[in-house]
Structure 1
């Protein structure tokens, strides 16, 4: 046998042709590899690869070959790797399909093993490369972390050095001015020191506000208020804070507000005041002599007002290439600026962020040794034209006793003395728990509660009061030095917010806005008018009996609460109950009736102190109303009753 014949025999033993129609039925096959000639049904069922080509066969060009190497086929328990040639051809004068299979299983198996080894080697090499890169990145990260820690440490050192210096300066000023106020100077001199003390305090507050707001901005927790304010009052307050420092440097400080600006606007007045305080403060700080000028223009915009502010000074100015830098935190135009002029480098950064967070814009123009001009714009709504209150306080007739809850002794003293000077009786406690205890035993017309207190904080205390059946209508002011998260809840609870540090004008205004309470049960004499046939003399006598008798009975009931004998308390309730019906205190009458019934049936009454406190408060309000001129009953003035009603 020749070599050619051996090769042909080998090739024939490894190859097979199949001729089949478009439906996959075998027309002819040499059956070298697979027994297709005896196959019943379509070969597409047994060879998924050919089945996938079923729709393509009728479209193939005639006599053109298509090769598919290394196709995995399995038939009748035999599996291998085959090169496949497909061809559209003519067989017995009919168009059919030719498939040539060439078995390269042994060859491909070796190739697969070899390829797998190569893949494993490549993967291992790539893994080692990735590992080296990871180690390199970890090293870079450690270097970066070390550098960052050093930078943070340097930043903290610089920050605390600047802040401590900035805080110490106004604090020293305050201490010194307070000391000077202790000397027997004339009123003019003392007024001058008080003005300086006020300006220094404002400076200190501005520094603290900048630090706190920077933290809030970075944490995304800065919120903006929507309150009515007077733009003229706001600007006057800001400028007044700098009058003393401007006079010291012989600087002319002036401002102009365009005539077309509505005096009453709606927006965050605190943030605007902070922006202006920073800008005017900077202008005065960097101006040795000359002037600082604030102007405000406006334009109406769909019911709102776009305000355009300009702060201009004749100070040292800033070089052009350093203008953008000054808006970055802790950055100043020159390295020695803080040494020469002081400052934290926070002011302009805070200003820019406060403006941009309110969708405003800010720009700066400056020329060295000529001066600086900063312009910014903000949009405000139209505010309500409300009456403004001067510091001179008009005492509310219906407001007598106020409870102040504040854990800081100095803050306690300030609020207490302020309210006393306005003519109010003031009780002071240091915790929310004491608030709840006090209102059970005394009648209060207003609660002023600090937000941050031990044991029970302001919000927790107010929640308990508002959920109470008996004290949920008490007017409440919440003192807070921070943003309140649950403002909607405070609105629902009808709680007013007072900002710290406390501005007497703000407290004055809130008290001025209080209306005489109508939520307490009001006196209704229709029942008396009916049973007496509107006999004024008898009505007057019965009302006087109520006013003289009921307070005594309430005190007796308070004593009876502490006795184990429940029968005496029940008899007192039964005895006093009709008096409430006479003057139309129906809710109090119902409460007494329910209380008496519970004692009679030996049911526990857990809130007796609260019930009695509420009834006492109702009676006091009733006596105040019965004594008023509105009812015109001609009652004899009883100082004892009136004093009791006020306590």
Structure 2
């Protein structure tokens, strides 16, 4: 499930990234298309707004031709020769402009033909204008007219012989009378002072009306006549000559006038044709420009439409892709939600099972330590007696010690994996801690014929602040492994510190001359339940948790562990742990070997435990020291007994029928008070939180099962050496070889088990689950103590089921009761545990 959830989460992450990338690509493409379209539109607009050079040239040529036509007209009337040269220059410029325009239309034969016709017309107009100018000069030139007039004058004034002349003279006198006043006014004859051609081709001069004056005229005329007879003959010939000259002059004037009109008409036609062609070309160029503009507009529209279409396609594709990816993402989210709900359910289930595991470990710790207590305790007692072979007792004792170590490792592993490891940081001395560990491990090394070298390099005072218990645990694990897997040679422990004002770096190096670790196993040895291939090559077997626990402790203290090894050349483990520097070298209280001065025990001891084997072990230990004691098997028995004021120490179990140890402690405190009596809890509940809970109930200390004789004596502040000197010749029970002791144990088991079976059935009928659980617990521990492991396992499983609320059926209960009954019968028939078959 976690893998699928991670894959789904990764899939959602990839899809979201893909959507964002698609969005970015769509935006970039839209921006590129918009930019390209905008650039093309701007180019189109620029091309539209920029004047067409052809149209500009045509317009300029048209203006030049119009200006040349105006210049032609003005020069025609001015008649200045210099102006004619200016006209020629302007015409030449227009010819050059037409040549340039012709080059612009190299690909258009129609426009080329029009331009050539304009050039031809322009040349024709120039020639016509020149001829027109010549004709006009002749018309307006007065030289011929003057010669003719001179000829007339010569004829009229030619001198002749003197003769009598008849002269006629007329005199007129006009008298005007206006109003009452009479005025004589001379009226001039209106004369037209315009030239000949002006009067010929110009308009008739408008006559201005004269003011009307009412007047009266009186005309008087006088006529005087003188007759000349010779002059009359000459007059006739002169008149004839004048008439001939006038006719010839009129004919010439008529010819010149016709020629002038013809030239002017031709010039006008050519000019109109020229202007028409220029306008035609201008219109053609304008139409071409308009067509090009229309084409540019269509192209701009096409660019815009294409850009809009492309952007729309990109956006549509993006929305389709987004919709698809959104659908897929929502599907992944739905799956993730399903996975999350499943994970939450699995988490709750895991937490439930983790809590059940913790309860199971706590119970198993109690149940495992209870039989271990008997095995270790009685084997220790047997070792002190030399009536049994030491090798056999050593085998039992070492096996039980090894089993206890495995139980402790499993409990440590449980605490570490559940995150409940708590560091108890207090000041302690590094050197004292290392010495205490070496003192214990040196015995193990010597037992295997190994040398344990211990080197220290402690800087400063050597005081640090940290969890001394966990550091001891690291040292014990590393040294234990080194000794366990080294057959010959030595084991070396180097402990050093480096002080950095407020911080102290603790360095631990453990070297051995063992078989070494293969390279492929160097990383695997730190995994849970993993061991090197050489780990099981010797006598000892382990749980595979030691190094994983060491690594977890180092990491919890912000340190690290490294290993260097080569197969056949031993191993080197290096631990580095940062600690706080302590200004005092006072060792932590838990490391002291004595809490108070050792002195002979005074007073009496009461022991309360529902397990008769534990009571028997305590009896043996205390009897050898002649310490007064009294044993109780139930809390009610203690409370119903009168208090003995000689009692100074009470040792009680925690899990008992009728009342647990914590409740019994409170009741005793009420009964005897708080002063003068020390109450210890004897329990197999070794989890830190359980120990804290027990101590919080008012106990003065703890004796953890399984305990050894030295542990109990240490709790009572009795030195083992002193205890040994007090040993008497009291005979100790022998379980394996002493039939009497075996019979007593069988009798105890038979009686107690029969009572518990009856109580179990009764409480099962009344559904008193707490009592059922307690009875199953007692039966399991007692049965395991005599070696019936299969039946004990079934009882333990049933106890856990009842604690979890899973009540076993009546058939299952009767089945386990039947097995217990058969076991009792076998014990009674066969007589000893060694002979019984415990299935």
TM-score (norm 2): 0.36
Q: Give the number of the structure whose residues are more often helix, by fraction.
A: 2
Structure of larger gyration radius: 2
Q: Give the number of the structure whose residues are more often strand, by fraction.
A: 1
TM-score (norm 1): 0.45
Q: Which has the higher contact order (CA 8 A, sep 6+)?
A: 2
